[in-house]
Structures are given as C-alpha cells and as structure tokens.
A and B are shown apart, each in its own frame.
Chain A
Amino acid sequence: MKFSGEFTLYTITSYQKEIGKIDFSKVKTVDFDLEDVVYFDTAASIFINSTVKEFNEKKISSNILTTDKDILDTLELVQISKKTSKPLPKKAKRTLLEILGQTTYFYYNGFLAFMAFIGKLFATKLSYLSNINNIRFKEIAFEMNESAIKALGIIALTSFLIGLVVAYQSAFQLKIYGANIFIVDMLGISMLRELAPLMTAVVIAGRSGSSFTAQIGAMKITEELDAMRTMGFDPYLFLVIPRIIALMIMMPILIFVADIMGVFGGLIVASVDLGISPQLFLERFNDVVAAKHFFIGIAKGPFFAFLIASIGVYRGLMVKDDTQSIGFNTTKSVVEAIFAVIVCDAIFSILFTNLGI
C-alpha cells in the first residue's frame, strides 16, 4: 500500500474505503509505504496503528516503510500512549426501574433538604428574636422597599383588573335574573376573602420570590456566602431572615391595597353596566359584607409571605456552582411558591368554613 501527499484527518476516510475494497484473504504481508507522505498527523498515525492491529488479528504481518523521522516519532507517540491509556468508559444505561427509583429518591432528598432548611430557620430565628440587638432593621427596611413597596403599582393594577373582569362577567349573568344589586355581595366576599390575597401572593411570588432566588443564587456562585461564613456571619441572619420578616410584614398591607383596588374595579363596572351608583354600592357593601371576610383575607398574608420568601430563599441556597442552576432554581421557586400558596389557601378555606368563620 502506498500513501502519498498529505495523510491527515481529512484523507483518512478515503483511504479506509480503498482498503475496504481490497481482498486480503490470500495476503501474507502488507507494506505500508509512507515514503511519499509529506504531512502526517496523529490521526493518521492512530489509523495506521489500528489497521496494523487489525491485520495482526487476521495473521497478516505488516511493515511500515519510511525513513522520515517525524513520521516515526508520531507513530511511536501514539503507540506509547496506547499502552498507558484505557478505553473511554461507556455511559451506563439505566432501566426504567432505576430511573424511577433515582427520581423518587431525588425528590425525597429534596423534600428532606427543605425540611432541614425550615428546621434550621426556626432554630436560628428563635435565638435571633431573643435579642432585639440582633434584628437587622436596616436590611429589613431595605427588603420591604425592594420586594413589596416597589410592587405596589403592579399589584394595584392587577387586582383592579381582576375586580373589573369578575364584576363584568357576573354582571352579565346577574342581569338575566334582575339580581343586579347582588354584585356587591358577590364581589365583596370573593375579592376580600380569596381573590385579593391569592392574586397578591401570585404576583409577589413571581416578582419578589424569584428575585430572592436569583440574588442568593448569584451570591452563592461568586462564593460570597462562603466568604460570609468564614467571617463568622451567618447567612441566615443576614440574608434569609430579613427577607422573610420583611415580606411577612408587608404582605397584609399589599393585600389591603389589592382589596381596595379590586372593589374599586367592581364599583366602576356596577355603575357603568348595572346602573348601581357608587353611593348605593358602598352602602350595600357596608350592609352585607362582614368585616370577618376582610380580616380573613389579611390574616392569610403573613402565611403566604412566609411560604413565598422561604421557598425563594431555599431555592437560592440550593443553587450549585453553575449558572444554569440559577435559571432552574428560579423557575422552581416560582412554581413551588405559587403551588404552596394555593395549597395553603385551600387548607385555610376548609378550615375557616368548618370553623364557621
């Protein structure tokens, strides 16, 4: 076999095809003539080596004919490395059962880790609250502004629109029965008791919970959290608890704003579409909507806030040392927070109804 010209990565395949066409069944010896090769790279060297090995297995002896020192060196380099290297490991295939088991275990561990986080949170929080000097008013105030006060606009707008839409849709139905005035009962109770707290929680989870995750996650990647620990600052005290407390304080206030705006939206629809004057609307509102609905809605606030903030922060702490994991955990934090809020709301709903409140 005579090779000439450049023998590299780009020419190997054509040689391979040529060699494949040859019938070696009666051949005893093969000479590889590399005299005319002008350029010879390591890939070619690997190719020659494995071809020689193949021939050896078929009991065909081979000679390499060349005087070029570079080529001989390249061949030798490949042979030496072949001796010491092991073949690359193959990726293990997993059966369905293994996948199921591993996934279940993964989620089980995730659940345990979250429980450990909550436990640590309460353990730290108790000792934290025992001394007033420990409370970081500056951080809490900063977080209140960042994650709640700056969200007032969007929450006001969202709940106004929700009030508008709910009133508009029910107005259409109520008109059929001539029960126009009942819009007040319906809107008042649903807004104060359920919709305003829930909408506020969803907006805050999407807006502030996700930002907790991203902030803390980024701090983890840049080793800022490690730096804090080595300096003896507990990240729970500095980062986690201020955020949770700030949100727990602000959530009822946000819900209050959402209540006002939602009812205001309903009031507009009632006066435009149903001919109920704002005065009549408010009088009726005063008569039929008991204060307990308002208080129930407000009381849900701190619970929702705790869930959103703790899930957001927990997801932030779960971030690994790569940027992809920030995205993953931020998504998780929003989804899990909204889910947790809805579950919590369902529990409250059953609880309060059964208690007769």
Chain B
Amino acid sequence: MSTIIKVNNLKTVLDDRVIHDGLNLTIKQGEIYGLLGPSGCGKTTLLREMVMLQDFHSGSIEILGQNIGNIKHKQAQKLRREWGVLFQAGALFSSLNIKENISLPLIEYTDLSKKMIDEIVEFKINLVGLKSEDALLYPSQISGGMKKKSALARALAMDPKLLFLDEPTSGLDPISAREFDSLILKLRKLLGLSIVMVSHDLQSIHDTLDSVAIIDEKKIVYEGDLSDIKNSDSKFIQTFFKGAN
C-alpha cells in the first residue's frame, strides 16, 4: 500500500507553548487511521495543520505526494478538492439548507447541470443515511446526529480520496455513534477512502480503526495497530486502554 500522508519531524509552537516537537507519522492508503492522546496534546492542531488551516513551525507534512509546507496557491486549491473534512460540530453553512450545503462545492467547482447535481446530492444524502425529505431543512432545524451526517455528505460531495474526521462520534448518543461507525466502515468499503480521525470514543476506536498514533509528550509514543498496544509503556495508553478489549 502506498503512503498517503507523511509527517516528518514536525514542530508546532502556539504562543509560547511547544505543542509538537519531532513528531513523525505515516498513513497508508486505504486505512482508517486514528489520532489519540490526552486532551491538550495537539491532536486537533495536527489535523488542522494537515488540512492547511494552521501553519507549523518546522518539519514537513506531505499529503498525496505534495509537500504542503511550500505549496503554491493553485496546487493547494487542487489538493483541497481531493479531501473532505468533517468538523466536530459539523460546521454546516448556517445560511444554506442541507441540499445547498452539499451542492455548494459541486456548483462552484464543476459545470454539471442542475439536474445532475440534484441527483448527486440525492445519492450522497442517501449514502450517509439521511432521508431525502430532510434535504430542505436548515442546520438550525436538525439534530446533532443529522448535522454530522449532513456534514459528512458535504465532505463526500466531491468524491474525495481522503477524509479527515474531527471527533466524529462526540456529542452523539451511543446508538447514533455506533451507526456512525458502521457508516464510516461502509463508506470506506464502498468508496475506497482513506480516513484520518481524531477520536476519544473507545468503542469507535476498536470498531473502526486499522492503526493508531498516540500523541503524548509532544511526540508519537505509539504508532501501529491496536492488537499489541497494551504492551506499550506509555502512561496514557495504560490508563486509556485499561480494561478495554
């Protein structure tokens, strides 16, 4: 399997605090990769750096073969169309309804006919398990679970190769959370996605992830699959995975 993301010797400084120092990780194509760690360790910061929302201090991040540290505007724009991002609270555009939210990238970036776009939107809505009747509702009118699903549909609108999820199951009840997990697994199988996610949800971690990176003390303290994670001597891992199976 080829490498899709490579982070090399990353250093991040926010204000006066060093968040990451000498952080390395490699994400392969087609895997579901989890970023874990105690709160405040910089998981979300790392994710934001990967999607070019935040600058880093030194080191390099390579995504789909592009080094995003010194990327040109045009290439950056092209890269942005190859991934989808799901934010923690969904971040749907509040002035647009679900259908308009999903169709926005299609309208902006493609010259598809209105009819075709409607069909794509209908498919995506169906794919993430929403009902077509809900398409005209606004973000303020729908539940948290529906918001996440709609935001996922929007992230999938351009058929990305790569999906970033920031705590996809946080704020969902356990049943919706499990549904969301199986949705993610289903999508990976159907669309051949590579998925990078930040998560705190143990069940979701065990059900969905292929490999994990644990960030602690500004570095990756563990990278690999879940089966032999308990042999690691990190304090965070011992506490977090204690009693889990």
Interface of B is mostly: mixed
Q: A219-B94, A224-B93, A224-B94 are in contact. Are A229 and B52 (CB under 8 A)?
A: yes
Q: How many residues of B contact A (CB 8 A)?
A: 23
Determine if B91 is an interface residue (Cβ-Cβ < 8 Å): yes
Chain A, range 192-241, C-beta contacts under 8 Å to B: 218-219, 222-224, 226-233
Interface contact B80-A222, CB-CB below 8 Å: no
Interface contact B91-A224, CB-CB below 8 Å: yes
Q: How many A-B residue pairs have CB under 8 A?
A: 49
Q: Which residues of A contact B80 (CB under 8 A)?
A: 229-232
Q: A229-B52, A230-B53, A233-B108 are in contact. Are A222 and B81 (CB under 8 A)?
A: no
Q: How far is the CA of A232 from the CA of B89 in the complex (A)?
A: 19
Task: Look across to chain B and name the residue whose beta carbon is closest to the beta carbon of A215.
Answer: B95
Chain B, range 44-62, C-beta contacts under 8 Å to A: 48, 51-53
Please tell me which one of the listed residues B53, B77, B92 contacts residue A232 in the complex, with CB atoms under 8 A apart: B77
Q: Which residues of B contact A224 (CB under 8 A)?
A: 91-94
Q: A229-B53, A230-B53, A233-B108 are in contact. Are A223 and B91 (CB under 8 A)?
A: yes
Q: Which residues of B contact A231 (CB under 8 A)?
A: 80-81, 85, 104-105
Q: How many residues of A contact B (CB 8 A)?
A: 13
Q: A227-B85, A231-B80 are in contact. Are A222 and B52 (CB under 8 A)?
A: no
Determine if B33 is an interface residue (Cβ-Cβ < 8 Å): no
Interface contact A230-B89, CB-CB below 8 Å: no
Q: Which residues of B contact A226 (CB under 8 A)?
A: 48, 53, 85, 87, 91
Task: Look across to chain A and name the residue whose beta carbon is closest to the beta carbon of B88.
Answer: A223
Determine if B83 is an interface residue (Cβ-Cβ < 8 Å): yes
Q: How far is the CA of A127 from the CA of B105 in the complex (A)?
A: 21
Q: How far is the CA of A219 from the CA of B95 in the complex (A)?
A: 10
Interface contact B77-A222, CB-CB below 8 Å: no
Q: Which residues of A contact B94 (CB under 8 A)?
A: 218-219, 222, 224
Q: Which residues of A contact B93 (CB under 8 A)?
A: 219, 224, 227-228
Q: Which residues of A contact B108 (CB under 8 A)?
A: 233
Q: How far is the CB of A65 from chain B (nearest CB, A)?
A: 35
Q: How far is the CA of A187 from the CA of B109 in the complex (A)?
A: 54
Interface contact B87-A227, CB-CB below 8 Å: yes
| Contact bitstring A223-261, B, C-beta under 8 A = 1, else 0 | 110111111110000000000000000000000000000
Q: Which residues of B contact A230 (CB under 8 A)?
A: 51-53, 80, 83, 85, 164
Q: A229-B53, A230-B51 are in contact. Are A222 and B105 (CB under 8 A)?
A: no
Interface contact B89-A222, CB-CB below 8 Å: yes
Task: Look across to chain B and name the residue whose beta carbon is closest to the beta carbon of A223.
Answer: B91
| Contact bitstring B178-200, A, C-beta under 8 A = 1, else 0 | 00000000000000000000000
Q: How far is the CA of A240 from the CA of B208 in the complex (A)?
A: 40
- 17 more contacts with CB within 8 A, not counting A222-B91, A231-B105, are A219-B93, A224-B92, A226-B53, A226-B87, A227-B85, A227-B91, A227-B93, A227-B151, A230-B53, A230-B83, A230-B85, A230-B164, A231-B80, A231-B104, A232-B77, A232-B81, A232-B109
Interface of A toward B, CB cutoff 8 Å: 218-219, 222-224, 226-233
19 A–B contacts from the bound complex (CB under 8 Å)? A219-B93, A224-B92, A226-B91, A227-B85, A227-B87, A227-B92, A227-B93, A227-B151, A229-B52, A230-B52, A230-B80, A230-B83, A230-B85, A230-B164, A231-B81, A231-B105, A232-B76, A232-B81, A232-B105
Interface of B toward A, CB cutoff 8 Å: 48, 51-53, 76-77, 80-81, 83, 85, 87-89, 91-94, 104-105, 108-109, 151, 164
